[in-house]
Structure 1
Amino acid sequence: MNQHVAFNPAWTSLVPQRQIELEADMAGLGAERFRHKLERDNGNGRGAANGGGRFLVRKAIGPLAEGVTKTVDEGLAGRPGRPAVAVKLLRDMDPDAVAYIAARTILNILIGEARTPLYRLALRVADAVEQEARFEAFAKADSEEYRKVKRWLTTKGSTAEHQKLVLTFVMNKNSIPWDGWAKSDCTHLGIKLVELFREYTGLIEIGQVSEQYQVWLTDKTAEWLDSSAERGAAMSVAFMPTIVPPKDWSSLTEGGYHTDALQTSLVKAGHGGWRSSTEHLMKADLTKVYAGINAIQRTPWQINRAVLAVVEALVEVKSEVAGLVIDDNLVPPPKPAGIDDDPEALKTWKREAFEVHTRNATKHRSKRGIQRTLINLASRFRDEPAIYFPHSLDFRGRAYAIPAYLQPQGSKLSKGLLRFAEGKPLGPDGARWLAIHGANCFGVDKVAFEERVRWVGENRERIVATANDPLGYFWWTEADSPWCFLAFCFEWASMLANPKAFRSHLPVALDGSCNGLQHFSAMLLDPIGGAAVNLLPSLKPSDVYRDVAELTMKKLKVLASPGGAGEPEQRWAHEWLHFGIDRKVTKGPVMALPYGITKQSAAEHVREAVSDRLKATGQKLNLSSDDWSPATWFLTKVIWSAMSETVVAAMVAMNWLQDVARVASNQGVSVQWETPSGFIAKQDYRKQKQGRVETKLLGKVLKFTDWTDTDQPDTRRHGSSISANYVHSMDAAAMILTAQRLANRGVTSFAMIHDSYGTHACDTSVLAKVLREVFIEMYQPDQLRRLRGDFVNRMTGLKKQLEPSPERGDLDLSRVIDADFFFA
């Protein structure tokens, strides 16, 4: 295919054979991977871990627990014919836990085997139940030690088999007795549980085959599992980029990919609560939404082959620079000679070796799989003159690229591997914007634009050296976004070498400054919050994270002063003052504030940030283990107070929205709203009937839901979710309207990620102007008053129950047009 054809949107109605074959390949690859995983898990005795098997386990728990309870009750009542052995062993155990363990064990074996001897299956079931009973005894005998070991095992992410070994070792070490169950008793118990499973679930059959009792799935169960697997395979698509422009969205079901091999819809299913419905969107005017998302997905991209070459060379030599993951397992430290005579050294070595094994089994394996897939996809599309990314929306209207791994909204590596297919001259101010982008990628983004441009000039030699020898000169790996910065180095060096012929391919990104708070501050025209999040002109960027940190330090000084607080708060305040609260400690809670964060979740952010700094710097805190939790909770409350004074309007708006959602959902009014783009966002959270099973061995909490018993709205969840969903719907509207307006002005390339907007360097000034115009127009009307009016119109009785919308302040929103650091 020639380059001209790849760029021509007219080809959306003339789908080339290569695109048809590519979409068929996507469907086939996804189904093949799904079936391969299913077969592997079934063959390894993990059939109950997959979708169909997991569903059957959940459905079996209730009936089987009922059977276990009835068996024990009747046995204890002394009725004749009841199995005394099974009753004796089960009488003190949780029936739900027994049912879960038995169902999981039975289905794990039978899904992978056509038939299995009853005797062997019974022993496997009884063994699993005995382990549960053993560790229940451990928990009762020494609950503190048990909790400590379980906490440690959970943190390390160990397997069930490893947990079993560790718990057994600790029981023996602490002389906690356990009288093992006799094999005859285990056989008796196991057979009884298999029989109960057959009787109360109807999923299996037991019969005599060749003088031996065997167990197998009923024909109905086997057929259901087969059809479930086929449904899973059909739904498992390995979505990839297209090589022609995606089909324009013209309705909720028409758009994206071109052939019937791939079924996609504009609004992704399964979001927003209990069930996904698009009925509320059927009558909406989505003209602007279609125009915006179509402009985004029509953007032609290319693989940045210079960056890909560096990635492949580094992977080849198993380098871990710039966040790469080596393709082999991490090697545990060798056991030093003579270490068996040094208990402390032996303990340290075992801990380090175990941590390596844990990383290999969990995060490292996942990361290397993702990296391998990403690089393979980039290699596959390396020579395409243009590739495209079909997009869809979530229930709030947020746009997402459909392909996984390789896409403009992906990881830092994914972004670095992509560039615009179309190259454009820099024009009068493109070089300035490109330099600002380069500084931003390195991490020089908290200073004025002129300082960022100057930084690039001062590092000209380093940038050129990087472009000439990225595999020998690793300065670029120090950047905040190393792969995007490497791409910039290639571009900048190319521009310097031949400025007249240079064509820029890089997306230059402008990022919102704590965008959720920007939306709330604009909603209520809050001058204090607006200044903190760069809605007003300033000589240098405001930093709300730093502002909150500085106010927190002032509050701590007061609390640490004589009479400022009681004991131990005064001592904690002094310790936190000595530690020093900076923007890294406050960033997590402040960033999450617009999305309905609670003090409890804010405390998690604070603990994590403090722990990270202690590890990175070697600083020490003079806090005992007993002090750690209450001291960090104390610090969280101080930070919360500082946030409340810095972004007052955001707190007011969040609380009001939560009240509205609770009242409306409680009165049966659907919690939905129209955004400025015309999109209708809708929450649909329903009360769920849930069971809960926790086992001592597996440490699992299994929640299973009856989706048919669901008519009541979940008022609590509506309230807790509305703040995040509402502000996300508003940032989605801003992005869609910006793309739509830019497309009308002739801009053809977009790199849009929620609160980060990108285009060619030469078009960045137009982007900066238009995104500000859209934002100002969105918040000239009082959006919260409009929201309240919509709820009242849909149910008149709400008028008296809903509080008036919050009063707006006196922020002059028109000044956003001159606020350089609003998006920067």
Structure 2
Amino acid sequence: MTLILRLTSVRSFRATIPTLGPSVGLGSVWFGGCPTCNKLRTAAREGVRQRQKKQEILKKRKVSSHVRLEPVTSSLHSAQQTHAQRSLSSKSNINVYTTNEVENIQTSQRNGSTPQWQTSHKKPLRSTPTVAESVVEEELDVVEEAEEEDVHEKIARRQEEIEKMKNMERRQNEEQAYILSFMEACVSIGEVDRATRTLHHLKSQKKRRKHLNADIYNVVMKGWAKQANMDKIRHLFYMMTKDGLHPNLQSYAAALECMGRAGLTGGVPIRCVKQMYKEGFNLEDMFRDCTFQVDEQEYILKAIQDGCGMADFAPPLLPPPQRCTTDLVSSIYADESSDNYRDESLQVQPLFTEDEVIHRCNAQLEMETQHWLKVESVEGQRQSSQEVLKLRELLQTHKTMWETGLLQAFRTLKKQMDRQSKAKGQLNIYPFLCVLEDQEYVDMMVQAICLVAVTGDPLLIIARDLGMKIQQKYRIKQKLQSGSVERIVLSHLQIGQIYQDYCSFMVNNNQGGKPGQARELWCQLEGEQGVGPVVGDEGAWPINLIINLGSLLVDVMVREVKIDNNLFRKTSEQKLIPALYHMYTYRNIKQVGIIKPHPMLVQLVEGAQDTNLVFDSSLLPMLMPPVPWSSIKKGGFLLSPTKLMRSNDATLQHELLLEKVGTSELYPILDSLNQLGACAWKINQPILDLVIRVFNNKGSKELDIPQPVSEAPTFPKLGTEILTNGDKQAMRKQMAQVRKLRSEMHSLRMDMLYKLSIANRFRHEIFYFPHNMDFRGRVYPCPPHFNHLGSDVARSILVFAEGHPLGEKGLDWLKIHLVNLTGFKKKNSQMERLQYANEIMEEILDSADNPMTGRKWWMTADESWQALACCMEIASAVRSPDPQAYISHFPVHQDGSCNGLQHYAALGRDITGAHQVNLMPADSPQDVYSGVARQVEKLRALDAEQGVKVAQVLDGFIKRKVVKQTVMTVVYGVTRYGGRLQIQRQLKDIPDFPQDYVWEASGYLVKKVFMSLREIFTLAREIQDWLTESARLISHVGSAVQWVTPLGLPVVQPYHKVKNKLVRNEMQNIILNVSSDTSERPDIIKQKNAFPPNFIHSLDSTHMMLTSLHCQQAGIQYVSVHDCFWTHACTVDTMNRICREQFVALHNQPILEDLSKYLLEEYGTLPSELQTSPAAVSKHEKLMEVLVDVPPKGEFDLKRVLDSTYFFS
């Protein structure tokens, strides 16, 4: 019997086998002389070679285990298939035999007969494998490994192809955005020839021709249409079709506009319309879907009516507004909806007369047209010394010198760019240097110089800010531009008339009427005037264009801005030196280019104490109600571009997601933003005067008024003694701390200066805050510096412009609100708080009458400035002849009781958790923070008895304040490490706590806090864990987590792997860290950690919006600071009832079940390229198991919330 063996790597066994064939080398396989087996040997050799090749490739590419996979057709696929069937591919005629089978073959070959085992359908019984059989199996493993490695190579290649396609798509989108912006800029400055030349140049380049699309051609066509040049329009149509592009409705609109301006009649317009209909378009859709500027629609109508002989044609009327079908709000938008709570006694007189409406609308329009407003600094109210006055004069002299130099340099730059563009016919920055007047660029640069002199910012920040300002002002001009002075005036009149009619309605209808009424009115007025795009927002410039444009101006500033080196010396000789320097420094171990001001420039700007602050109009409140949000691109400010969903510059996924949703489904969200923005505010002048007085008197730590940098610690001074290395290191550390503290003090001081200066500018005005939202639906005022979401100080100086009588219970609510602001009676009932307020009435009145010279009780409150404002309101009310008739403008707050946990408890119907967060009725409020502190204390006491040292050290130190922040933020995704840092800060602030144990104790306590929360909120933690695991698995299959809120808002998490994007420019290459690029893989850690808190945030925003809409229907004033709801004192009971009813209505929806269903639909199908990957299939199966396994609910009855006094209180 001939023994045939295969060996792979068993060296000891190799020595015992006679060599029956030639060696293949290290790790070789030996075969006997059987012809059939020689074929098997050849196949195995090939498998080994392939395996070695694949290993080399894998080492280079480092293929990860989670890459995408495509169906594989491997040369060894048949071998794997045959192994399962006991034979290899018939194509190669290679078979695998046991020892007995080989012996049978050899016997049969000698006898010329058929082997016995081949004539039977039954396989012979296999006994324990022989040595040879084991070796054969080992060799099959080699073949399978080669097969698997070939699969990995395919995976790597496919992944590279996908990344390459994504990069190509991203580059194409960026290139198209740049080209489109360039063409728009050229057309807007009247350089249509330049745009056309550039279009021809791009078309001639094979690599860039593919970036051209119909939108780019349309922009150029609109430019020629303004000049009535039909030959150019024809040529552009020819170019489009030759490139395989199809003209769209906007293309035909440009052609018809051109015909209308040229006065063409007969054949040409008729053929154009016929061709349009042949392409599947119609005139009705053109007027409904296209955007028009000022007079474009007029000339299109002329071409249709006169040119085509269709005299009876008229643009279609606006369709009736669609009804929102979202279950939660369908009753609000129904025709038969009733005003269940509306109190007609709350109707008030209009805030403005018709003349005032006209005047204020024009003032708002003028402010936005100018794009900026000069605001007098409250620091200017101080008496200035002669030295300061002299420095102001010197600063003004230098500004005049800077303006002259910058203007000349800027015009030289423009000429240089113009020559380059004309010579090469390429894209460059030239048209973007012409979209504004030269002086406007210079003004922006001079403003930037003064800001840099104070901060010394990185080049990226300065360049981006300059570029964004230019873009924003250009967009405003673009909305008003039509080519002639008369048309600009007409445009102003049209915009003004729409806005005036709208504002007249708003001021004469309490709270803007029913939900949706303001939005529908605006659309109606806009349609009647035929000014569709007036408040629309065009496409934004790409970020690389913005930064390059800004960098170019910064480069001019660095080269041209000079300062007199002898400015502070006693000499009349002038010696000019650069005032700004471009240099590099390290921040967080990264090299960063910064613009550094000369110390003399800093001294000049800071010493002059400029009395004027300049703010963009989009950073300030509005003088009249904001433009209502009627779509995802229309709303907010009158002219200044406003985003519905705030995001960073590179994030587009939210806008794309919103565009997929029908506008009618977003009506509740839009109408809620409109209701919040329609709230009229005014300044609480006595409080503002007092705050300004404290601010100008070097601030106050105790009253949270930032102090000037002059009050900061000074830098350590070097003595004459020689310092050791340790001393030098300690001094460097001390200097860094002082520098950090001074920087923080300056930032806080400037923030307060902006708030107070804006408030002082509007002290005699009634004003409004337009609102938008983040990607979760949380709502924010658009003006960032001064609004009701600000600090205690900012809230204290704001009151409602509309006032209402206190009524029967209003004064009691003011007193309860005051006690809530103090934080003294958190565990007491409402009646006990009211009783306490009555007991300390003398302190309240003393605080109101003598805030800075009396007993100063108000300073002991947690929210001291709001408490003082409330003291003054109560004093005025109780001293009035009839407190019930006293007209109060003061907002009363109702806060949720750890609102995030309230939503978790409601989702899980958790009885224990519901009790802790006041979802259940009780005689006094439950304090979840105290409850957790008590639970932690129990666990600590047990450990102390067991001799745990840190538990013994903590005896007597576990207070509510120590655990509060961690408990509050656990629901919003704080990690154990983050919680540890929070507790560490609290322990450091306790004077008697041994500081040596702070770090160890904080680590111990954070574990106990998390453990206690799991025991108290068992069902809540199960839900949180389910959300986290779902997000982890979703992001593992390559997707960002998406969901839809119960109110219909689509949400997608913008967390992706950070990608470095290089922006090249002559001054310095800038690297942007982009984490919102949807072409990158999701950031799994951020996706899973952020999903639970973001989901809860989307629920609390839904509850807020529902309350907003129903309060509007009831006719009561309502604003919110996330989970803190504000209204007049006389309407607190109504708001409380609505708030509770809408919370119950929200959580009566199958929220988790709907989320599970949505996620299953969204992620239920595995992408085809992953369907052959066992690892991907396994992960997907696990995801499906998790998504269907919705956490169980408890027995809590949601209706009990309706009777809970302390749910919001």
State whether TM-score is above 0.5: yes
Q: Secondary structure at the match of 2:780?
A: strand
Give CA deviations for 1:11-69 in whole Å, capped at 9, x if unaligned: 999972111123345546699996446435878996753337699xxxxxxxxxxxxxx
Distance 1:595 1:10 in 2: 49
Distance 2:1085 2:451 in 1: 38
Once the 2 structures are TM-superposed, how far is the Cα of residue 738 of structure 1 from its aligned partner?
Answer: 0.1
Once the 2 structures are TM-superposed, how far is the Cα of residue 291 of structure 1 from its aligned partner?
Answer: 2.3
Distance 1:814 1:750 in 2: 24
Distance 2:864 2:1139 in 1: 27
User: Given that residues 315 and 326 in structure 1 are in contact (C-alpha distance below 8 angstroms), is that contact kept between their aligned partners in structure 2?
Assistant: yes
Give CA deviations for 1:174-208 in whole Å, capped at 9, x if unaligned: xxxxxxxxxxxxxxxxxxxxxxxxxxxxxxxxxxx
Question: Mapping of 1:696-775 within 5 angstroms?
Answer: 704-705=1073-1074, 710-747=1079-1116, 749-775=1117-1143
Corresponding residue to 1:466 among 828, 843, 847: 847
Distance 1:34 1:553 in 2: 59
Distance 1:725 1:479 in 2: 32
Which residue in 1 is equivalent to 2:813? 433
Distance 2:643 2:354 in 1: 20
Give CA deviations for 1:573-610 in whole Å, capped at 9, x if unaligned: 11112x42111111121111111121111111111111
Corresponding residue to 2:939 among 540, 547, 555: 555
Once the 2 structures are TM-superposed, how far is the Cα of residue 489 of structure 1 from its aligned partner?
Answer: 1.1
Once the 2 structures are TM-superposed, how far is the Cα of residue 367 of structure 1 from its aligned partner?
Answer: 1.2
Alignment root-mean-square deviation, CA: 4.3
Letter in 1 for 2:1139: L
Question: Mapping of 1:309-324 within 5 angstroms?
Answer: 309-320=689-700, 321-324=702-705
Mapped pair 1:784 → 2:1152: yes
Question: Mapping of 1:361-376 within 5 angstroms?
Answer: 361-376=742-757
Give CA deviations for 1:298-331 in whole Å, capped at 9, x if unaligned: 1111100111121223234334152112346215
User: Given that residues 396 and 725 in structure 1 are in contact (C-alpha distance below 8 angstroms), is that contact kept between their aligned partners in structure 2?
Assistant: yes
User: Given that residues 19 and 242 in structure 1 are in contact (C-alpha distance below 8 angstroms), is that contact kept between their aligned partners in structure 2?
Assistant: yes
Distance 1:342 1:286, change over 3 A: closer
Which residue in 2 is equivalent to 1:482? 864
Distance 1:547 1:27, change over 3 A: same
Once the 2 structures are TM-superposed, how far is the Cα of residue 9 of structure 1 from its aligned partner?
Answer: 11
Once the 2 structures are TM-superposed, how far is the Cα of residue 356 of structure 1 from its aligned partner?
Answer: 8.7
User: Given that residues 511 and 756 in structure 1 are in contact (C-alpha distance below 8 angstroms), is that contact kept between their aligned partners in structure 2?
Assistant: yes
Q: Secondary structure at the match of 1:586?
A: helix
Residues paired across the two proteins, number = 642
Once the 2 structures are TM-superposed, how far is the Cα of residue 363 of structure 1 from its aligned partner?
Answer: 1.5
Corresponding residue to 1:681 among 1033, 1039, 1051: 1051
User: Given that residues 467 and 486 in structure 1 are in contact (C-alpha distance below 8 angstroms), is that contact kept between their aligned partners in structure 2?
Assistant: yes
Which residue in 1 is equivalent to 2:916? 532
Give CA deviations for 1:684-724 in whole Å, capped at 9, x if unaligned: 322233599xxxxxxxxx98459879332223321111111
Higher relative contact order (CA 8 A, sep 6+): 1
Give CA deviations for 1:341-399 in whole Å, capped at 9, x if unaligned: 999xx99x989995994366312111111111111111111111x21111111111111
Which residue in 2 is equivalent to 1:287? 667
Which residue in 1 is equivalent to 2:952? 574
Distance 1:443 1:399 in 2: 26
Question: Mapping of 1:264-283 within 5 angstroms?
Answer: 264-270=642-648, 275-283=653-661
Q: Secondary structure at the match of 1:767?
A: helix
Once the 2 structures are TM-superposed, how far is the Cα of residue 634 of structure 1 from its aligned partner?
Answer: 2.2
User: Given that residues 389 and 401 in structure 1 are in contact (C-alpha distance below 8 angstroms), is that contact kept between their aligned partners in structure 2?
Assistant: yes
User: Given that residues 11 and 245 in structure 1 are in contact (C-alpha distance below 8 angstroms), is that contact kept between their aligned partners in structure 2?
Assistant: no
Which residue in 2 is equivalent to 1:99? none
What TM-score comes out, normalization by structure 1 length? Answer: 0.70
Corresponding residue to 1:587 among 964, 978, 982: 964
Mapped pair 1:112 → 2:558: yes
Q: Secondary structure at the match of 2:897?
A: coil
Deviates more, 1:756-765 or 1:646-655: 646-655
5+ residue gaps, structure 1: 56-106, 133-149, 162-233, 693-701
Distance 2:754 2:965 in 1: 31
Which residue in 1 is equivalent to 2:1002? 632
Question: Mapping of 1:254-403 within 5 angstroms?
Answer: 254-258=634-638, 260=639, 262-270=640-648, 275-284=653-662, 285-320=665-700, 321-327=702-708, 329-330=710-711, 332=713, 357-358=738-739, 361-384=742-765, 386-403=766-783
Give CA deviations for 1:104-161 in whole Å, capped at 9, x if unaligned: xxx9999823799xxxx9xx99x989xx9xxxxxxxxxxxxxxxxx99x99xxxx999
Distance 1:4 1:611, change over 3 A: same
User: Given that residues 507 and 758 in structure 1 are in contact (C-alpha distance below 8 angstroms), is that contact kept between their aligned partners in structure 2?
Assistant: yes
Corresponding residue to 2:792 among 409, 412, 415: 412
Distance 1:745 1:47 in 2: 49
Which residue in 2 is equivalent to 1:423? 803
Once the 2 structures are TM-superposed, how far is the Cα of residue 737 of structure 1 from its aligned partner?
Answer: 0.6
User: Given that residues 742 and 767 in structure 1 are in contact (C-alpha distance below 8 angstroms), is that contact kept between their aligned partners in structure 2?
Assistant: yes
Letter in 2 for 1:523: L
Distance 2:907 2:1007 in 1: 26
Corresponding residue to 1:51 among 461, 473, 491: 461
Distance 1:771 1:351 in 2: 55
Corresponding residue to 1:494 among 876, 883, 893: 876
Question: Mapping of 1:193-208 within 5 angstroms?
Answer: none
Letter in 1 for 2:1013: M
Distance 1:484 1:662, change over 3 A: same
Q: Secondary structure at the match of 1:510?
A: strand
User: Given that residues 351 and 802 in structure 2 are in contact (C-alpha distance below 8 angstroms), is that contact kept between their aligned partners in structure 1?
Assistant: no
Distance 1:714 1:612 in 2: 36
Which residue in 1 is equivalent to 2:1164? 796
Mapped pair 1:16 → 2:384: no
Q: Secondary structure at the match of 1:545?
A: helix
User: Given that residues 504 and 760 in structure 1 are in contact (C-alpha distance below 8 angstroms), is that contact kept between their aligned partners in structure 2?
Assistant: yes
Once the 2 structures are TM-superposed, how far is the Cα of residue 645 of structure 1 from its aligned partner?
Answer: 0.9
Which residue in 2 is equivalent to 1:646? 1016
Q: Secondary structure at the match of 1:50?
A: helix
Mapped pair 1:513 → 2:897: yes
Distance 1:408 1:317 in 2: 25
User: Given that residues 26 and 240 in structure 1 are in contact (C-alpha distance below 8 angstroms), is that contact kept between their aligned partners in structure 2?
Assistant: no
User: Given that residues 408 and 751 in structure 1 are in contact (C-alpha distance below 8 angstroms), is that contact kept between their aligned partners in structure 2?
Assistant: no
Letter in 2 for 1:557: A
Letter in 2 for 1:778: L
Distance 1:300 1:47 in 2: 37
Once the 2 structures are TM-superposed, how far is the Cα of residue 662 of structure 1 from its aligned partner?
Answer: 2.3
Distance 1:413 1:45 in 2: 25
Distance 2:710 2:361 in 1: 42
Distance 1:432 1:548, change over 3 A: same
Distance 2:1091 2:1072 in 1: 24
Distance 1:811 1:706 in 2: 41
Which residue in 2 is equivalent to 1:806? 1191
Structure number with greater Rg is: 2
Which residue in 2 is equivalent to 1:620? 993
Distance 1:708 1:681 in 2: 16
Letter in 1 for 2:1093: A
Q: Secondary structure at the match of 1:255?
A: strand
User: Given that residues 976 and 1007 in structure 2 are in contact (C-alpha distance below 8 angstroms), is that contact kept between their aligned partners in structure 1?
Assistant: yes
What TM-score comes out, normalization by structure 2 length? Answer: 0.49
User: Given that residues 916 and 928 in structure 2 are in contact (C-alpha distance below 8 angstroms), is that contact kept between their aligned partners in structure 1?
Assistant: yes
Distance 1:241 1:339, change over 3 A: same
Identity of aligned residues (%): 28
Which residue in 1 is equivalent to 2:973? 596
Distance 1:774 1:272 in 2: 36
